[in-house]
Structure 1
Amino acid sequence: MTEEMDAWVVARPGPIATGPLERTRLPVPEPGPGEVLVEVEACAVCRTDLHLAEGDLPPVRPRTVPGHEAVGRVVRGALPAGTRVGVAWLRSTCGRCRYCTRGMENLCPESSYTGWHADGGYARYLVAPADYVYTLPQDRPAELLAPLLCAGIIGYRALQRCDLPPGGRLGVYGFGASAHLTAQVAIAQGATVHVMTRSPAARELALELGAASAGDARDTPPEPLDSAILFAPVGDLVPVALAALDRGGTLAVAGIHLTDIPVLNYQRHLFQERTLRSVTANTRADGRAFLEFTAAHPPHVAVTPYPLSDADRALADLAGDRVNGVAVLVPG
């Protein structure tokens, strides 16, 4: 093992066309007490990484290595060497506040996040607290496991937050990394899924995965929805999705960043007990439940691999809606 590693950092937050990512060499990090050093096998590219690079998510430290969907093997530290683990978005919580003690650690005011508060997986190695990594199967390809660690987990939490009834009708707005996994979970649970997205390729993928219909982002679904999840970071779609809900329906907004929401009309968008709610990160219990579910119901993961050396191109393709499914960085 060398003393230095290839990595990417957010050097100058700004529009992706200005090149906010910079390729560099960094010292291989050293794990502290209770931490593990992980050699990265694959790291999925998340829209949150794009928000960080472009400055929508303000950096909390300079020159941070992004990436929070990393699969790798422990080199040394608080877990046995060779253990295969997943390093996800939630990096630490205080464990003492009223949110942590009542099972809502995703709302902990002292929480920290991989690839934002600490260096993440756009690198050959990263360090993470052992209590916050997930043990993963040894036999599945790393590039298929990586998207489960954020796209999958946050989508799973959004599915809980939208209060989908058994056998219900779910609307999915936007159909990227998280949405294409969440739709499969809902279908496996017996839901009817209608997808609304501007991408023709994504509509085709949605139908291949079992969606009952797939239309444009602003289309009216063929039947009223019991629940909906907004994955696209587009506030203009909030009233569109609310208007598609049946009485008593719930819309969950899954993203960490959303453009401004237009003025809502109470009668059309909220009356008859329609609900609008946000989704904030996830708990470790969410992660464990989702990974257990996918072990029993393996999803089809649509992956576009990129070598680590092309991380800037992967992020630019994500920004330009040129990735069908999930972009995943692999060594190279």
Structure 2
Amino acid sequence: MSAMVLHSTGAPLVLEQRPLPAPGAGEIRVRIEACAVCRTDLHVVDGELPEGKLPVVPGHEIVGRVDALGPGVEGPAAGTRVGVPWLGHTCGHCPYCAQDRENLCDAPEFTGFTRDGGFATHVIADAAYAFPLDGFDDPIAAAPLMCAGLIGWRSLKMAGDGKRIGLYGFGAAAHLLAQVLQWQGREVYAFTRAGDTGAQALALRLGAAWAGASEEPPPVLLDAAIIFAPVGALVPTALRAVRKGGRVVCGGIHMSDIPSFPYSILWEERQIVSVANLTRADATEFLALAPKAGVRAETAVYPLTRANEALDDLRHGRFQGAAVLVP
């Protein structure tokens, strides 16, 4: 098998040829058809997340076909198309797992971070954390759903049922979530880097009521705002944009420091909350909803061997939507 491997943080990934791995008990081997490139992959490569393993194969938005079953695995059957997400395994017995909050598990494993991921031709996955993708006929379009879609969905659930939703950072997650919000009959307000007319045009094409720079105030107060950009300074900005009782959701796994801000913009029962990882229930909900809502990812496709280029293009905002690697 071929894999793009991170040996030290801050260094480019290295193309390696490895023996084809055999799945262990409870595991499956997946022949990868596509793996999207997530901003979390940048955080892994840059060493901004603690306690990962090295060397590691990044990538956690994986779509492929099951081609081998480990001992004790009854399904998904060989040949089934599955998605493999960021949450790769949980302990099942800590207090959080016992409360159906496996996203907060005390002993989790994460695909592409603590176990090898999808920047490769094959990956080993825990069968219980791989999701059948019946009806998803395009693996390239489906790959971004496995994190950008799932984290967007969990972020929206945290944001609540408000009508006017602001999305700060209109990249992979936001452009998928905007389609869900349109289907639900809600209003989208898209915030981008100053001068990013491409992202603003994409937002408007997807039905946003307004699109502008993150520093601009929206034309109306928002019921909630979701921050996907890893920029802590956007937290007070978003607080100023939401109404009394509104909520600001931080949807990323990593963010720069949040600057101090006056209590007055938090007062009147505004809230700041964070989203951590995902649960399998989130995936079940979103993967059932996405086809009904007509969610379709905008993608920029790269061969596996150009993973470093895809990461750099993501870092500098050189494409709209999501980058996807194909072996």
Shorter-chain TM-score: which interval? Answer: over 0.9
Correspondence 1:9-158 to 2 at 5 A: 9-14=5-10, 19-58=11-50, 60-77=52-69, 78=73, 79=75, 80-137=77-134, 140-158=137-155
Match of 1:271 in 2: 267
Code of the residue aligned with 2:98 in structure 1: it is T
Q: 2:291 aligns with which of 274, 284, 295?
A: 295
Code of the residue aligned with 2:149 in structure 1: it is G
- Which ranges in structure 1 are unaligned for 5 or more consecutive residues? none
1:117-142 CA distances to partner (integer Å, 9 max, x unpaired)? 10000000000011100000255110
1:261-313 CA distances to partner (integer Å, 9 max, x unpaired)? 0002101x210000000000010000110000012112131000000111110
Conserved 8 A contact 2:168-2:227: yes
Match of 2:230 in 1: 233
Match of 1:189 in 2: 184
SS of residue paired to 2:128: helix
Code of the residue aligned with 2:9 in structure 1: it is P
Report the Cα distance in structure 2 between the residues aligned to 1:188 and 1:316, rounded to whole angstroms: 33
1:209-241 CA distances to partner (integer Å, 9 max, x unpaired)? 000000011110010000000000000111000
Deviation at 1:58, TM superposition (A): 3.0
Report the Cα distance in structure 1 between the residues aligned to 2:304 and 2:67, rounded to whole angstroms: 20
Match of 2:326 in 1: 330
Conserved 8 A contact 2:167-2:190: yes
Conserved 8 A contact 2:140-2:324: yes
SS of residue paired to 1:33: coil
Deviation at 1:28, TM superposition (A): 1.6
SS of residue paired to 2:18: strand
Conserved 8 A contact 2:179-2:293: no
Q: What percent of counterpart residues are identical?
A: 48
Deviates more, 1:71-80 or 1:222-231: 71-80
RMSD across aligned C-alpha pairs, in angstroms?
1.0
Report the Cα distance in structure 1 between the residues aligned to 2:320 and 2:96, rounded to whole angstroms: 37
Conserved 8 A contact 1:52-1:59: no
Code of the residue aligned with 1:105 in structure 2: it is E
SS of residue paired to 2:45: helix
Conserved 8 A contact 1:20-1:54: no
- Which ranges in structure 2 are unaligned for 5 or more consecutive residues? none
SS of residue paired to 2:302: strand
Code of the residue aligned with 1:295 in structure 2: it is P
Conserved 8 A contact 1:227-1:245: yes
Q: How many residues align?
A: 320
Report the Cα distance in structure 1 between the residues aligned to 2:213 and 2:95, rounded to whole angstroms: 42
1:150-197 CA distances to partner (integer Å, 9 max, x unpaired)? 0000000000111232xx100110000011111111121111110010
TM score, norm. by length of structure 2: 0.96
Match of 1:319 in 2: 315
Report the Cα distance in structure 2 between the residues aligned to 1:312 and 1:33, rounded to whole angstroms: 33
Deviation at 1:200, TM superposition (A): 1.3
TM score, norm. by length of structure 1: 0.94
Conserved 8 A contact 2:65-2:80: yes
Correspondence 1:157-306 to 2 at 5 A: 157-165=154-162, 168-198=163-193, 199-267=196-264, 269-306=265-302
From the superposition, tell whether residues 160 and 179 of structure 1 become closer, same or farther in structure 2 (CA, over 3 Å).
same
Conserved 8 A contact 2:250-2:274: yes
From the superposition, tell whether residues 123 and 313 of structure 1 become closer, same or farther in structure 2 (CA, over 3 Å).
same
Report the Cα distance in structure 1 between the residues aligned to 2:91 and 2:8, rounded to whole angstroms: 31
Report the Cα distance in structure 1 between the residues aligned to 2:296 and 2:57, rounded to whole angstroms: 29
